[in-house]
Structure 1
Amino acid sequence: MRVEENPAHEEEQPLSGGNVSAGVVRVGDTVRRPAGPWTPAVHALLTHLHEAGFRAAPRPLGIDEQGREVLTFMPGEVIWPDRFALVEPRKQLARVARLVRDLHDAVQDFTPPSDACWQVLVPAEGADIIAHQDLAPWNLVVAEGDELSLIDWDTAAPGSRLWDVAYAIRGFVPLSAHPDWQSPDAADRLRVFADAYGLDETERRALAPMLGRRTRAMHDFLRARSAEGVQPWTTLWDQGHGDAWRGDAEYIEQREDQWERALLSA
């Protein structure tokens, strides 16, 4: 679907903050961003979410005359890094976990288009849903009244609930080796997230070792793309993002027993 090119002649406001997507602008109440082969499938997914009653995601409006995808603008502020304190209270962390659960429930019966093309960055373990694949603080927007929404859906792709949850836990608990972000009550916060999401015992046992694998997969992806000279991953690797993911993976792997105890404690 084509949309009229900026009918109100509103000024384009560049949107910054991401590490990957360049050329993203706001025009009035819409966001315009470069489209790719995956855009039709992502738009089908976002349309399904809205039809299923999930409102914490942008609604696709089509393609503009410059070939950019057009999405509704989600008002508010991205919480990473300056507003992370908004999800530090456990009740707020639980809200994030419930939001992830609502997303996964809403997408459960989505049937992708027969010609769907997805932008697969890190191959997932399992493929029971079309997962967001980047559920992280840099993609969580908090609006007035503490309304939450999720942005940056361009890397949505087949995956599993647990794969998505493991990634989200690393970012929102957080499980981090960095002294500025390392949480002294990380195990308790992990339990809060798992409880609020509603993981059963089987899922909790599977999640404990997956936390480290999911984190290390990001390091391995950056290393491989950097070795191939692929941007923007080479720049991110040179900036130390690979070291950060590796450090977090080691931190998580060394404490796997601790995470399992927290997840399975009565």
Structure 2
Amino acid sequence: MSDREERLPGGNVTAGVVRIGNTVRRPAGPHTPAVHAFLEHLHEAGFTWAPRPLGVDELGREVLSYIPGSPVHPDRLDLLDSDQSLSEIGRLIRAFHDAAAEFVPPPNACWQVAIPDVGADLIVHHDIAPWNLIGSGDRSWTLIDWDFAAPGTRLWDLAYAAHGFVPLTADPSATRPNPARRLRVLVDAYDLDEGQRHRLLDLLPQRTRAMYDLLAHGADTGTEPWATLWREGHGRTWGANTDYIADNAAWWRAALLDE
């Protein structure tokens, strides 16, 4: 393969992501060794729907295996229209969390934490969403952008995923028919028990509100990239979606609890 650098699209948070041959190079940070140890563990545990870590290059960039396919967001959201796709995503998230539960972080592991979780039971992704999902022609999926992997909880991670994949949005141009049923499909595939479903219902608006708060704080303090994202209108979107989720709590409850 050519050693020519090809800049890859996307990346609201991490700039300077390039492809060289069958690898992706990204800016490294203090969190990179822990994230690479985590990704290596996932592959050893049988979770192969993530890039392989390949060390650091001569420019100090982290090196990951290149995953062929297309980002689902923004141009291939049609891949998520079917119940089959939602079920696959739900099972993928469950398989990831189950594999992550056996991970023992290296001593003095450093993680990049943007939003504190409600707990710290295991290492989770913290940004499972269509913009971090690669879909290939054979309907296989790969989760990318693991920079914010850090201690957290299954349900906080799943609540964020539900926002993006159902999606739980106030934007009529982005919504899918019957979002309550789609939420049920995703959660059934993940296989939550009744108590976990009650807890998830509480977390759905909290997790979305946490994104709004992060962007608002970034705007107040001038912290990047959050300040720029706020100026671009992302704060309004997360705020509107938080209100939408809270206002329609009865829909989600009826869908998840058979009430």
**Class of the TM-score when normalised by the shorter of the 2 chains:** over 0.9
- Partner SS, residue 113 of structure 2: coil
1:22-101 map, 5 Å: 22-101=15-94
Residue of structure 1 aligned with 2:139, choices 146, 166, 180: 146
**Aligned residue pair count:** 259
For 2:138 and 2:26, how far apart are their aligned partners in 1? 27
Measured against aligned partners, the alpha-carbon deviations of 1:36-58 in whole angstroms (never above 9, x if no partner) come to: 01000000100000110111001
- Given candidates 205, 216, 221, the residue that maps to 2:198 is 205
Taking the aligned partners of 1:130 and 1:116, their CA distance within structure 2 comes to 11
- Native 8 Å contact 1:209 1:256 kept in 2: no
Q: Aligned equivalents of 2:167 and 2:198: distance in 1?
A: 19
The residue type paired with residue 228 of structure 2 is T
**1:81 deviation in Å?**
1.3
3-state secondary structure, aligned to 2:46: coil
TM-score, normalised to structure 1's length?
0.95
Unpaired runs of 5+ residues, structure 1, are 1-7
Does the CA contact (< 8 Å) of 1:209 and 1:253 recur in 2? no
**Of 185, 195, 208, which residue of structure 2 is paired with 1:192?**
185
Contact 2:120 2:151 in 1 (8 A): yes
Q: Deviations over 1:222-256 (max 9, x none)?
A: 11112111111111000000000000000001111
Which residue of 2 is the match for residue 123 of structure 1?
116
Distance 2:100 2:194 in 1: 23
C-alpha distance in structure 2 between counterparts of 1:36 and 1:228, whole Å: 22
Give 3-state SS (helix, strand or coil) of 1:146's partner: coil
Q: Give the percent of matched residue pairs that are identical in Structure 1 and Structure 2.
A: 54
Moved beyond 4 Å, runs of 4+? none
Alignment of 1:178 with 2:180, yes or no, is: no
Distance 2:225 2:215 in 1: 10
> In structure 2, which of residues 82, 88, 99 is the aligned counterpart of residue 106 of structure 1?
99
Contact 2:81 2:176 in 1 (8 A): no
For the 8 Å contact 1:176–1:183, the answer to whether it is kept is no
Structure 2's unaligned 5+ residue stretches are: none
State TM-score, norm by structure 2: 0.98
Q: What is the RMSD computed on CA atoms of the aligned residues?
A: 1.0
2:162 corresponds in structure 1 to 169
Deviations 1:120-173 (A, max 9, x none): 001101111101000000000001201100000000011100000000000000
Shift of 1:184: 3.4
